[in-house]
Amino acid sequence: MTDSVDQDLEWVTLGAKLKEVREYLSLSQQVVATSTGIPRSAISDIERGQRKVDSLELRKFARLYRYPVSYFLGEEGNETEAASALARTVVDLTAEDREEVLRFAQFLRHNADAERRRPR
């Protein structure tokens, strides 16, 4: 692949991550535009990989979405990012809800352990 094609793929990948997180948070492009000061049409172009994102814009997205910039750049490992995202998410929960999340995580871990021990 040429450098140009690689760079284009990086912009498309970045745009897809931004769109995925925006949709996961149930935010419209208009809400993001209003919150960041980035025009809605630019957000659409960015999410389709048709427009480059400068570092200040990326920081605005990251701040609004409460994700580290490194997540969008693909610089964090999946396990590290998952743990960081979980920590960012549970901080706003009540103590009771955090306990419920912990119990569910322990259930999933136990379930995965049981699957690994099951003979195939």
Residue 57 sits in the same domain as residue 101:
no
Residue 117 sits in the same domain as residue 105:
yes
Segment 52-61, tens digit of pLDDT? 999 999 999 9
Question: What CATH number is given to the structural domain containing 57?
Answer: 1.10.260.40
pTM above 0.75, yes or no: no
Residue 88 — φ and ψ, nearest 5°?
-65, -35
Buried b (16+ CB within 10 A) or exposed e, 77-101: eeeebeeebeeeeeeeeeeeeeeee
Residue 49 sits in the same domain as residue 105:
no
Residue 71 sits in the same domain as residue 93:
no
Other CB atoms within 10 Å distance of the CB of residue 27: 14
- Given pLDDT bands bounded at 50, 70 and 90, which one contains residue 92? confident
- Given pLDDT bands bounded at 50, 70 and 90, which one contains residue 27? very high
Residue 64 sits in the same domain as residue 110:
no
Residue 62 sits in the same domain as residue 83:
no
Domain count, the chain: 2
Domain that holds residue 36: 1-76
Structure-model confidence comparison of residues 117 and 101, the more confident one: 101
- Given pLDDT bands bounded at 50, 70 and 90, which one contains residue 82? confident
